[in-house]
A = this chain, B = another copy of it.
Amino acid sequence: MISPFLETMRDWIEVFMRRSMHNFITYAKEKNLSMSQINALFHIHRKNSCSVSEISDHLGITNAASSQMVDRLVQQKIIIRTEDPNDRRNKIIQLTDHGHEVVIETMHARQRWLSDLESLLNEKEKEQVITTLKMLTEKAKQLHDPCEPNC
């Protein structure tokens, strides 16, 4: 037996993911970015700056692999890699301005279909959606992070 709540959420996720992912993937391909790369970029964006091994933890790959990925993203001028003055073993990885643009645009690509959805709703329905999703977002933020502290 599955709860009515979960059942509703599952249906919602299915239509929702299919639409969001389609734009997302299309845009990523245009920009020649792999899922791993996007995933890393989003992580850096969220943390503002991070280390090589943090990327390894987040993606579940070896340090060697992240180091190589970082190489390629640096070459593409999407991120910059500097030395941590406090511990010179660490590298500090951050998005460039261009990198920020890429992340933001990727997010927007994911959300492009939402204005079409909005146009199907009347004012009362919109209000209802706003109230409910705000509540749900708040609750979701209270959950433990999907993989903390470093991942």
- The secondary-structure label for the interface of chain A is helix
Q: Which residues of A contact B (CB under 8 A)?
A: 3-6, 8-23, 25-26, 29, 35, 39, 42, 60, 107, 110-111, 113-118, 120-121, 125-126, 128-137, 139-143, 146-147
Tell me, in angstroms, the Cα distance from A12 to B134 when the chains sit together. 7
| Chain copies in complex | 2
In the complex with contacts A60-B29, A111-B6, A111-B9, A140-B15 CB distance below 8 A: yes
Residues of B within 8 A of A20 (CB): 13, 17
Residue with the greatest number of chain B CB neighbours at <10 A, chosen from A11, A16, A134, A135: A16
Residues of B within 8 A of A6 (CB): 111, 114-115, 118
